[in-house]
Every structure is written in structure tokens, then in C-alpha cells.
Structure 1
């Protein structure tokens, strides 16, 4: 997981910002899926 994403996620959990947590989760799964399919 990229550092910038980890920092954002930590802040979102700390602030209990549900909307941002959902958004970051979607970003992470999309990012992971995209990179995973490119590698094979």
C-alpha cells in the first residue's frame, strides 16, 4: 500500500470519517486490481 494512501486512511479512521474511509477503500481495491491484472 502506498504511503500517501496509508496516511490518508489513518487520518480518516482517526477522524471516524466514514465517507473518506469508503472512498479510500474503493481507491485501494481499484488500484490493487489494476496493478494485479497488469502483472498477470
Structure 2
């Protein structure tokens, strides 16, 4: 997971902002399922 996304999720959870959490989760799943994420995921592991 990109660092910027992780930080945004932590802020949203801290504020208990459900709308932001849901939007960020959808962004992460969209990014993860796209073809561009394979290279990043392999480096991240």
C-alpha cells in the first residue's frame, strides 16, 4: 500500500470519518485490481 494512502487511512480512522474511510478503501481496491499495481505490490512485499 502506498505510504500516502496509509497515512490518509490512519487520519480517517482517527477522525472516525466513515465516508473518507469508505472512499479510500474503494481507491485501494481499485488500484490493487488494476494492472498497474502488480509492479508496486511486488516491490512492497
Instruction: Give TM-score, length-normalised by structure 2.
Output: 0.77
After TM superposition, where is structure 1 displaced by more than 3 Å over at least 4 residues in a row? none
Task: Give the TM-score of the pair, scaled to structure 1.
Answer: 0.86
Aligned CA-pair RMSD: 0.8
Could you say which residue in structure 2 is the equivalent of 1:18? 18
Query: Unaligned stretches of 5+ in structure 2?
Result: 39-45
Gap regions ≥5 residues in structure 1: none
Aligned pair count reads 36
